[in-house]
Chains A and B, each alone.
Chain A
Amino acid sequence: SQTIHQWPATLVQPVGSPLSLECTVEGTSNPNLYWYRQAAGRGLQLLFYSVGIGQISSEVPQNLSASRPQDRQFILSSKKLLLSDSGFYLCAWSPTVVEKLFFGSGTQLSVL
């Protein structure tokens, strides 16, 4: 069966520090991969999605970037965190023929 792993579960970082959140999927090949963020009091917003290795599409301009170095690995990064980057980050995957998304358990990021 397929599983998705996302870590860490919580993270507290100072403003200006770098960020790296990692997400891996097991049990499937060539998944679509997604990064979502939920800021306080707001809905989930799609940040990035990827349909293959090295292919990244950004949905909103921001201080973050994403990379997909391997088929089932999706990384969310920042060189210098801002206070506004605080939020709940969710990684998700779907089959190429999308019926639904499967979400990881999320990372609560607090930038202080």
Chain B
Amino acid sequence: GNSVTQMEGPVTLSEEAFLTINCTYTATGYPSLFWYVQYPGEGLQLLLKATKADDKGSNKGFEATYRKETTSFHLEKGSVQVSDSAVYFCALDAGGTSYGKLTFGQGTILTVHP
């Protein structure tokens, strides 16, 4: 079956530090890959996505590249801010008859200190 594995958290960084949150996946076929973010007290929001190999998704200074050879979709940001503190979820959509049904990782809590 499909699965997503995220690096375990929580992750604590100082403002302006570099961020990497690792995500690897297992899926048949060619899934679409997503990063969702959940800010305190809010629902999940789509942060970025990539639909095919070598695509790079980007938004709000965050980036992730779809690497089929390593089955990875690591999230990166060059300089984090306090406002980036949230829970980050990696997810995949296997497509086909699974279209719209996402498989999520367990989430990574990020805390950024001033």
Could you tell me which A residues sit within 8 Å of B by CB distance? 4, 6, 32, 34, 36, 38, 41-46, 49, 59, 90, 92, 94, 98, 100-101, 103-106
Contacts and interface: CB of A to CB of B under 8 A. Distances in A.
A105 B45 contact: no
B4 A34 contact: no
Given A42-B106, A43-B4, A98 B93 contact: yes
Contacts of A44: 89, 91, 102, 104, 107
Interface of B: 4, 6, 34, 36, 41-46, 49, 89, 91, 93, 99-107
- Give 3 closest A-B pairs by Cβ, nearest first: A98-B100, A103-B43, A44-B104
Contacts of A101: 44, 46, 100, 102
Contacts of A103: 36, 43-45
A35 B34 CA distance: 18
B43 A46 contact: no
A98 B41 CA distance: 26
A9 B36 CA distance: 20
A59 B101 contact: yes
Q: Could you tell me the dominant secondary structure of chain A's interface residues? A: strand
A49 B102 CA distance: 11
A4 B49 CA distance: 21
B43 A43 contact: no
A43 B101 contact: no
Contacts of B104: 36, 43-45
Nearest to B42: A105
Nearest to B90: A43
A21 B42 CA distance: 17
B6, B89, B91, B104 pick with most chain A CB within 10 angstroms: B104
A38 B107 CA distance: 10
Contacts of B49: 100
